[in-house]
Amino acid sequence: MSKSALMIYEDDNGHYNVGDYIQSLAAKGFLTEANIFINREKLALYEGEKAKIIMNGWFTHTKNNNWIPSPKLDTLFVAFHINNLAKNIILSKEGIAYLKSREPIGCRDQNTVNLLTKVGVKAYFTGCLTLTLDRYKKENIEREGIYIVDPLYNYPQSKYIFYSPKTAIRGILTGRAFRLGKLKKHLKNIFTEELLNTAKYRCQVLPGRDVTEEQRFEVAESLLEEYSKAKLVITSRIHCALPCLAMGTPVIYINGFDNIVDTCRFEGIMDLFNCINVDPKSGIFTANFDLKDKIGIDTLVKNSDKYIELANRMRKICLEFADS
């Protein structure tokens, strides 16, 4: 039996993103015998046994040149994202040749499809692999609890600004430290105080010091278990919102991003869930679903089923790859 590998991730400022590990759990659903961990930023350096790996996610976060995966890795490109920060590394002459050898490339967002098509690589839209996490779905349960997960996390927040003396100085110099009340103000425009006061708050970016890879996967599974039983989840993390669709959990995505690094990730994905778009300057918001009043603890939210066809196609592709 051939070996299989899962991606693990480098910390950013001493923290790790649980959403990355949720993406790896999605891949693990198909590569059930995955027994090798490979750092996403060091795929080119892998020299172990030949192994299958699903290339879902955003690569070259650290802007290194270790991009083209090792020939020891049998890669499947599905739910692949090329961020604007990384496109010059990934779409080098050598990088394009490699992607052409693995085409067609399944892309997490339409922007990635467009980037690849322009350079002659066959590509198509798949959505995110976390849409296949229905194995965590709970049937015939009474849902309880409203979870708010990293809402509008791009807004100034004290836990990020005052994380260290260096970040505090940067926050003061940029003026972000003086706009700390904006998050609460904008949320109060959308949600009732009762909901905001009684909701359970979760964060998907956590301190990474002395936390093993196994523990990080356990945290990811623990959060999925909580979301799978929730009455409603409100989030600005796509790797919280998309798994909720797969698990049948009512979810609302709050979009307050205006930076191209973030917005290039969203085209095609935003159509899949209930979304509230907030102008980060004025707080004025619009929704892509029927929203007549503030959202409260008794507001009923129904998910769209647009994701199902995408999830089924990815499931078929990944199973065929695992069995090949």
Report residue 265's pLDDT band, with 50, 70 and 90 as the boundaries. confident
Question: What CA–CA distance (Å, rounded) separates 170 from 37?
Answer: 35
Report residue 156's pLDDT band, with 50, 70 and 90 as the boundaries. low
173 pLDDT above the threshold of 60: no
Question: What CA–CA distance (Å, rounded) separates 196 from 295?
Answer: 10
- The reply to whether 41 and 155 lie within a common domain is no
Please spell the DSSP secondary structure of 274-323, one letter per residue.
EEEEE-TTT--EEESS---S-B-TT------STHHHHHHHHHHHHHHHHH
Q: Average pLDDT in the 133-149 region?
A: 96
- The reply to whether 229 and 214 lie within a common domain is yes
Domain span holding position 14: 3-131+309-323
Predicted confidence at residue 158, as pLDDT, reads 53
Predicted confidence at residue 175, as pLDDT, reads 46
- The pLDDT tens digits of the residues spanning 205-259 come to 999 999 999 999 999 999 999 999 999 999 999 999 999 999 999 999 999 887 7
Bigger pLDDT: 221 vs 279: 221
Task: Write down the pTM of the prediction.
Answer: 0.91
- The reply to whether 36 and 150 lie within a common domain is no
177 pLDDT above the threshold of 50: no
- The reply to whether 146 and 278 lie within a common domain is yes
Among 223, 225, 33, CA closest to 136 = 225
- The reply to whether 81 and 181 lie within a common domain is no
- The pLDDT tens digits of the residues spanning 288-324 come to 999 889 999 999 999 999 999 999 999 999 999 999 8
- The reply to whether 252 and 292 lie within a common domain is yes
Predicted confidence at residue 280, as pLDDT, reads 85
- The reply to whether 23 and 125 lie within a common domain is yes
- The reply to whether 219 and 111 lie within a common domain is no
Q: Average pLDDT in the 66-87 region?
A: 93
- The reply to whether 103 and 173 lie within a common domain is no
Q: Which amino acid is it at 179? A: R
- The reply to whether 184 and 314 lie within a common domain is no
Q: Average pLDDT in the 118-132 region?
A: 98
Domain count, the chain: 2
- The reply to whether 15 and 138 lie within a common domain is no
Phi/psi class of residue 127: alpha, beta or left (left: φ > 0; alpha: ψ in -120 to 50)?
A: left
Do residues 246 and 137 make contact, with C-beta atoms less than 8 angstroms apart? yes
Q: Which amino acid is it at 191? A: F
- The reply to whether 37 and 105 lie within a common domain is yes
Cα angle 16-224-243, degrees, rounded to a multiple of 5: 95
Q: Average pLDDT in the 200-206 region?
A: 94
